[in-house]
Chain A
């Protein structure tokens, strides 16, 4: 017998956003009709049950859908809240549901009269949250999960999902983007391991990455699993958190066509640099002070290198979606073009993508697929123009026919700099990176009992990558070595295969509700690459070169492949007693091929619970609507390393010349060391939180406190160079890190009336702390940072400056306790350094810890309002308390080596002693050394990440032209920044964990001005 059952909840319940926006009468009527349709399909049987449905205050609710669980038999309440229906023998309970109220399930227990009271539901807490191999209602969550609204992401103009999520979720720090096709970096709840890896992405059940190939317009919902108990079902690799993305599905009804288009202009922030006059004055001063004869500067040239290298970029993003379905099936087809002309010359990114999501049901059987195909191509940046525009002098012309290749650059007599001409390198080096990716899954489900479901999920992702590089003949910097024209191509294929079997059991016994998932999964990742290079390419008479590998000579080829396998077993139970006590438990066991025999398996259990205080009888508050407290404790594993890192390998590439004939012989040796005993990294996390809503649900609060400890972190911990190791520090387990943090979110929402508004504020504090370091060290030094036990990672460790010597007396009287003159060779105008160890000289031992690169707290502010057809929204993000190193300023403000100077800089002179810039002196790095606090700055900032105004064209007008809805919008990104930081962008990304706060000339966030149009019919 084929049993009818309720359609999947996921499809039924509209997202809260929609609820909030469109809870119109029409919609209610539609639902009513829908339910009535169901209620007419009655079974031929049996006992008649009737009753009355009221709200908490006893007021009858009409239109409530009443159904016998597990069957299609049902009815609805009339105007007085009265219902009656025929109950089949098999039916054990009735389900009452009505929009705006929490559904209730009531056991029949042989009764014929059942009166029911329904509770009003809160909009935000009624969301369905995808938690991995299943869903939960947000109100039933026991762990830390953030939900990001797809609409908020889709409002913004971003290449990747990550970039679009900035500031939208507490405890989720996202940096990066800006360059065409660049990826952003995500840190969830701080630095939990040192590999700086991104969280795990799960897209429609496929373990993947939502990289630039993924079209953010396809997103239906995003949830971020932040604590161990929430992420535990994903076991290994979930240690950095999990981002679950569900893509859009077709909804029941006739075909719907939706179009959205956005066009943006992008501008890059720029430096304020000296022009030729100012440059010449300062440069001559530096040479004069050093007693070196001046350069013969070309004063007739005044090149603004920023104008040459940067331009106004643009983004165009068009998306067209066709969707629809019946109650037995649904489909969605979406096509997207995303094009970004970069703000740096000769950079761009283009993406074409197509998605097809379908599903169908017959009886107990359901089958579906989600597949996306995308082709992305980026024209990549060569060199680093962010630094090059500073390194080049304004007296250098862009073009110079006398140079090979025809471009201007440094000159020994006139412009001594090794800066790279960004126009030249953009032309002479061509790098493109293109890939075709297919990503999707096929699933089928058997609901062979109302409470028992089997699901098979087959996932597959493959990418075919093509990188090509063309080096044209010509130079971009002074004294460059000769290179012939070179072509290099690199082709690779990657694939991920996933097989998952899950069984889920879902049943309510009186006040007990039990949900159990058990499953098994197998994943295989493979990658293979071949590459080839040819030199001395044939010149094409029509211009350029024949850049195919057929031409040229001195061929070189290479290639490699990797594979890794992961086998997992997992289970979860969710127990709910009377909607008051919630208990969840998860266990996952993973086996990976990335470790050696004996270390491959790890088991990760976690448990979490919540108490809904507001559902207790004793709880009676007129102003608190909901109150839930929760706690969790969980463990997670991580094996996020290369597939063969535990195996010591032999490098067989050495070749040597030998013998009278200088013939070539080969050599082989171990180059990179390895730790053979690598094993699972383990994250142990506790999370305590509460969720509450007040004032008739207008105000909601969530607060969480977490304590995380990552043990045996897998990391390439710096080892001594005396080991002779090369090729990167070998991975080792052996660092233990602690993270503690507090996350707080408050939302106030007013939905009544024409003027609706909301405000959400979130606050994140985070404190990381090294508990122990690899190889039992107490500290490790990287660049200008020290990482030591008991301290946060990567603290600034530099010499302290103490002003400028104003005269010879000050130099001579600067002595230590023993009377030794500390800087005897200093001259007035030189920097005075602190002799912190008191030994009478300035050495590396005078360095001290002077600041932390980590912000004390980060805040996000989301504001929105709507009035009639207008929607306004705005998002602010700020981070406070970080000390950062301004790398570009350490280039601009130095006089020892030639580069352009900061406009308006005032180096010390006897006539101008009131300055913090030491005297200009060409030829020694003493005053401009990089390891001092002179380059450290306050990195705090507050930024308007996003602001938008949209207008929904009134239905009356829209309908006339046959549309269902239409919206136009204008928006801006990164328009305002409040900061004391003098670099281009305080919100920069440095991928090195130890040097998070070092701005090496990172690509800045660009400003964006966008127009959008959206309509559906």
Chain B
């Protein structure tokens, strides 16, 4: 009897079990949405594009290392970091191509950003919108952001693979040439500019406008020396239908503080914030701040990993304002030994205590209202500023042989800083294309120093292509003694990436 009872019990136990076992094995993730549940609604689309903006806060790109690549590698900046390898990556001593802080992190975060854009571009078309214009604007933002990241990838590594679809783990994308990358950037920007508005409502200020797309498009053509197309793109902002949105602000300093952000001079800004104090990963409370100032602030204030070349101070002092004063832009561009004497400004509340031949970047520092820095600077990065566009417009006109027309755009920039008209100060520049170009290089330096443009300029000007020109640069920046034309114009691709993807070749010379 007992045996039978037990047998029945066992049988019941096991059959009861079989019935519910499939339910038990189907355990949903209780923590977050699955990818399948997402990309269904307009709100999902908006969340998706927002996440793409969040990539600006990652250290591989715009919250840190991009400034090392663009500002310090150029002849404006250099590194005396006690972290030797970090310094080596600003002076063309690339030894370990996998060096995370110098190379791999930037590469990874670039593609991480592109992955987010690609998700929007692949998934949002399938979502129903009540207002199709809104959908087009979301897709246009994704295209703009993707173009922006490929633009900088092209500046840094040149021959990068174009990933244009949502990634899968097995992807080993093919390598593309620089020309192919530029073509893709142009395509994305052209499409984006068709759908982006001329301006956004207050709640959405900070998203790219049509003007931002046209400005970036112009920059791409500039790098390709396609001056006519560059001019046409810039026309929108300078003389065309977008003209009304842009105007230089009166106060030069307003371009580098958190006090007058998204102003009329801003063409495109990264919206930094100090609201979160977390780490830089993808966790809750992730930082939305910029760490540039913490890394570039002078010794004992910040990490002091990057500083400015002292020759810039001398360049500023070569020409006085119309009323015989020191160029006021110097005051907001650099910390230098004479700052307090020249303008009465201390540095983070201190008098000069650094070496006499040194200078430090002041733009985007917060010494205008505090005495220290941290990892959470809220100051928006003015990625594209109208003054830059005016000077590029002038450069394009000059290259097109319209030097005379170009002068007034340079003067618009100079006059804000009370500098004499260009042809008054340098009469020969009004007619001589070459002299104008050489002067424009200096005008760009004085206006835009420390704004991550110099490396791009040097490449465009061809100053890195031949040894003789590099020799000139190395007189003001000895790091360029290590520079080998044709090799160091671009970074090595991270070695692991080349090794693990049979479709990739290391850049020439590495």
By a beta-carbon cutoff of 8 Å, the part of chain A in contact with chain B is 410, 412, 416-418, 446, 448-449, 454, 478-479, 481-483, 501, 503, 520, 522, 524, 535, 554, 556, 558, 560-565, 567, 591-593, 597, 600, 643-644, 647-671, 673-675, 718-727, 729-730, 732, 775, 777-782, 786, 843-845, 896-898, 923-926, 929-931
A-side contacts of B283, CB under 8 Å: 558, 653
A-side contacts of B169, CB under 8 Å: 673-675, 719, 723, 725, 729-730, 732, 775
Given A503-B10, A649-B33, A659-B204; A720-B171 close (CB under 8 Å) = yes
**Cross-chain contact A670 with B119 (CB below 8 angstroms):** yes
B192 to chain A, nearest CB (A): 18
Contact with A along B1-41 (1 / 0, CB 8 A): 01100100010011001000100111101111111111000
Given A501-B13, A657-B271, A667-B48; A454-B6 close (CB under 8 Å) = yes
Given A722-B163, A724-B113, A725-B167; A925-B88 close (CB under 8 Å) = yes
**Cross-chain contact A410 with B48 (CB below 8 angstroms):** no
Which residue of B is nearest A656, CB measured?
A: B53
Which residue of B is nearest A663, CB measured?
A: B203
21 sampled A-B residue pairs with Cβ under 8 A: A412-B82, A483-B374, A501-B10, A520-B17, A556-B278, A558-B284, A565-B27, A647-B34, A652-B33, A654-B47, A658-B205, A661-B203, A670-B35, A675-B169, A722-B163, A779-B499, A780-B499, A781-B495, A923-B87, A925-B95, A925-B96
Starting from the known contacts A654-B286, A782-B496, 10 additional A-B residue pairs (CB-CB under 8 Å) come to A449-B3, A479-B302, A522-B17, A565-B27, A567-B25, A600-B25, A655-B275, A669-B47, A721-B108, A897-B84
**Cross-chain contact A721 with B494 (CB below 8 angstroms):** yes
**Cross-chain contact A844 with B38 (CB below 8 angstroms):** no
Measured CA separation A722–B175 after assembly (Å): 11
Contact with A along B297-308 (1 / 0, CB 8 A): 001101110000
Cβ of B430 under 8 Å from chain A? no
Contact partner of A897 (CB less than 8 A), chosen from B6, B83, B202, is B83
Measured CA separation A558–B88 after assembly (Å): 39
Which residue of B is nearest A569, CB measured?
A: B14
Which residue of A is nearest B34, CB measured?
A: A647
Which residue of A is nearest B115, CB measured?
A: A724
Which residue of B is nearest A555, CB measured?
A: B285
**Cross-chain contact B302 with A481 (CB below 8 angstroms):** yes
Which residue of A is nearest B510, CB measured?
A: A843
Given A662-B261, A720-B501; A656-B35 close (CB under 8 Å) = no
**Cross-chain contact B54 with A654 (CB below 8 angstroms):** yes
**Cross-chain contact B163 with A418 (CB below 8 angstroms):** no
Which residue of A is nearest B57, CB measured?
A: A656
Contact partner of B373 (CB less than 8 A), chosen from A481, A667, A732, A923, is A481
Measured CA separation A979–B197 after assembly (Å): 71
Given A653-B284, A781-B495; A673-B273 close (CB under 8 Å) = no
Given A418-B83, A652-B47, A670-B119; A657-B275 close (CB under 8 Å) = yes
B-side contacts of A418, CB under 8 Å: 82-83
Given A654-B51, A724-B163; A482-B374 close (CB under 8 Å) = yes
Which residue of B is nearest A563, CB measured?
A: B27
B119 to chain A, nearest CB (A): 6
**Cross-chain contact A520 with B500 (CB below 8 angstroms):** no
Contact with A along B166-185 (1 / 0, CB 8 A): 01111111000000000000
Measured CA separation A660–B269 after assembly (Å): 12
B237 to chain A, nearest CB (A): 21
Given A593-B27, A925-B88; A656-B271 close (CB under 8 Å) = yes
Given A653-B284, A655-B54, A666-B50; A924-B104 close (CB under 8 Å) = no
A-B pairs with lowest CB-CB distance, top 10: A724-B115, A667-B50, A667-B51, A657-B273, A669-B51, A648-B35, A654-B54, A723-B167, A668-B47, A660-B202
Given A650-B38, A727-B282; A662-B271 close (CB under 8 Å) = yes
Given A501-B13, A650-B33, A897-B83; A931-B96 close (CB under 8 Å) = yes
Measured CA separation A661–B14 after assembly (Å): 63
Measured CA separation A724–B85 after assembly (Å): 25
Contact partner of B95 (CB less than 8 A), chosen from A654, A661, A665, A929, is A929
Contact with A along B90-107 (1 / 0, CB 8 A): 000101110000001001
Contact with A along B345-363 (1 / 0, CB 8 A): 0000000000000000000
Which residue of A is nearest B50, CB measured?
A: A667
**Cross-chain contact A668 with B38 (CB below 8 angstroms):** yes
**Cross-chain contact A844 with B495 (CB below 8 angstroms):** yes
Which residue of B is nearest A651, CB measured?
A: B282
Pair count A-B, CB < 8 A: 295
Which residue of B is nearest A721, CB measured?
A: B108
Measured CA separation A652–B286 after assembly (Å): 11
Given A720-B501, A844-B97, A930-B96; A653-B167 close (CB under 8 Å) = no
**Cross-chain contact B95 with A926 (CB below 8 angstroms):** yes
B340 to chain A, nearest CB (A): 21
**Cross-chain contact B496 with A669 (CB below 8 angstroms):** no
Cβ of B229 under 8 Å from chain A? no
A-side contacts of B54, CB under 8 Å: 654-656, 667
B497 to chain A, nearest CB (A): 6
Cβ of B454 under 8 Å from chain A? no
Measured CA separation A520–B112 after assembly (Å): 46
A-side contacts of B26, CB under 8 Å: 593, 597
B452 to chain A, nearest CB (A): 20
Measured CA separation A730–B304 after assembly (Å): 37
A-side contacts of B30, CB under 8 Å: 561-563
Measured CA separation A923–B502 after assembly (Å): 35
**Cross-chain contact B52 with A896 (CB below 8 angstroms):** no
Cβ of B207 under 8 Å from chain A? yes
Measured CA separation A652–B288 after assembly (Å): 15
Measured CA separation A896–B88 after assembly (Å): 11
Measured CA separation A270–B111 after assembly (Å): 44
**Cross-chain contact B32 with A649 (CB below 8 angstroms):** yes
B-side contacts of A647, CB under 8 Å: 29, 34-35
Cβ of B114 under 8 Å from chain A? yes
Which residue of A is nearest B54, CB measured?
A: A654
Which residue of A is nearest B166, CB measured?
A: A670
Cβ of B375 under 8 Å from chain A? yes
B-side contacts of A923, CB under 8 Å: 84, 87
B-side contacts of A416, CB under 8 Å: 82
**Cross-chain contact A567 with B38 (CB below 8 angstroms):** no
**Cross-chain contact A726 with B205 (CB below 8 angstroms):** no
A-side contacts of B277, CB under 8 Å: 535, 554, 556
Cβ of B506 under 8 Å from chain A? yes
A-side contacts of B171, CB under 8 Å: 719-720, 722-723
B51 to chain A, nearest CB (A): 3
Cβ of B338 under 8 Å from chain A? no
**Cross-chain contact A592 with B25 (CB below 8 angstroms):** yes
B394 to chain A, nearest CB (A): 31
A498 to chain B, nearest CB (A): 14
Given A412-B82, A657-B273; A721-B104 close (CB under 8 Å) = yes
**Cross-chain contact B82 with A667 (CB below 8 angstroms):** no
A392 to chain B, nearest CB (A): 13
Cβ of B403 under 8 Å from chain A? no
A-side contacts of B35, CB under 8 Å: 647-650, 670, 674
Measured CA separation A448–B84 after assembly (Å): 77
Measured CA separation A775–B24 after assembly (Å): 31
Which residue of A is nearest B200, CB measured?
A: A659
B271 to chain A, nearest CB (A): 4
**Cross-chain contact B2 with A561 (CB below 8 angstroms):** no
Which residue of B is nearest A731, CB measured?
A: B169
Cβ of B415 under 8 Å from chain A? no
Measured CA separation A417–B170 after assembly (Å): 42
Given A669-B116, A722-B111, A724-B113; A658-B32 close (CB under 8 Å) = no
A-side contacts of B172, CB under 8 Å: 720, 775
Measured CA separation A661–B378 after assembly (Å): 13
A577 to chain B, nearest CB (A): 29
